[in-house]
């Protein structure tokens, strides 16, 4: 039997995928360059690979505009948007953790 948690981790458990999904869920549709600027430390090659994986798994969509130069936009699919409660919970937990860490260091 396949574990549902393992499936979720396999789909979004990579550091870069989480940050890509964060940006698309919080800020909406982005172009490649906007995503690269918003994710500190990611290379173009890694961003391309992660975007392809997320698209292949149905979590994001890629729209190519026939312009010169070509414009490509990435957005969250309906399936990807179903991850929003998970990201909301991670945000709440992270905020709480940071507050508790600050209290310990005072």
pTM of the model: 0.88
In this prediction, residue 32 carries a pLDDT of 95
In this prediction, residue 102 carries a pLDDT of 80
Residue 74 has φ and ψ, to the nearest 5°, of -115, 140
d(CA 21, CA 2): 24
User: Which domains, ranges and CATH numbers included, belong to the chain?
Assistant: 4-105 (1.10.10.10)
Mean pLDDT per segment of 10 residues, for the chain of length 106 residues? 88 93 96 95 96 97 91 97 95 93 78
In this prediction, residue 91 carries a pLDDT of 93
Peptide bond before 69: cis, by omega within 30 degrees of 0?
A: yes
Peptide bond before 70: cis, by omega within 30 degrees of 0?
A: no
């Amino acid at each position: 039997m396949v574990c549902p948690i393992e499936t979720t981790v396999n789909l979004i458990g990579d550091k870069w995928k989480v940050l890509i999904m964060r940006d698309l869920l919080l800020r909406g549709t982005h172009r490649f360059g906007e995503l690269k600027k918003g994710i500190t430390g990611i290379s173009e090659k890694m961003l391309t690979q992660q975007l392809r994986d997320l698209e292949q798994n149905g979590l994001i969509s890629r729209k190519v505009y026939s312009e010169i130069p070509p414009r490509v936009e990435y957005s969250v699919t309906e399936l990807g948007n179903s991850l929003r409660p998970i990201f909301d919970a991670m945000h709440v937990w992270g905020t709480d953790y940071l507050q508790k860490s600050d209290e310990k260091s005072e």
